[in-house]
Amino acid sequence: MKGKKFFVAGLIVVAMLMAGATAGNAADDKDICIEQIKHYQLIKMNDGLLPGDEFNPYDFKGVAAAAKSALENEGKRTHDDTNHAAITKLVSHHLSNIVTAAGQGSEGAVESVGHSMRFLYLSCKACHKVYPTEQRLRP
Q: Which domains does the chain have, with CATH numbers?
A: 28-134 (1.20.120)
Q: How far apart are CA 38 and CA 104, in angstroms?
A: 23
CA proximity to 102, closest of 77, 55, 139, 70: 70
Give the tens place of pLDDT for each residue, 99-139. 999 988 888 888 888 899 999 999 988 888 887 766 666 55
Q: Which residues contact 41 (CB under 8 A, 6 or more apart)?
A: 139
Confidence of residue 45 (pLDDT cuts 50, 70, 90): confident
pLDDT of residue 47: 55
Any idea of the CA torsion for 84, 137, 48, 94, to the nearest 10 degrees? -10
- pLDDT recorded at residue 131: 77
Distance CA 106, CA 127 (A): 32
Over the stretch 47-102, which tens digit does the pLDDT of each residue have? Answer: 555 555 666 677 888 889 999 999 999 988 888 889 889 999 999 999 999 999 99
The pTM is what?
A: 0.72
Calpha distance 132→61 (Å, rounded): 34
**How confident is residue 1, by pLDDT bands cut at 50, 70 and 90?**
low
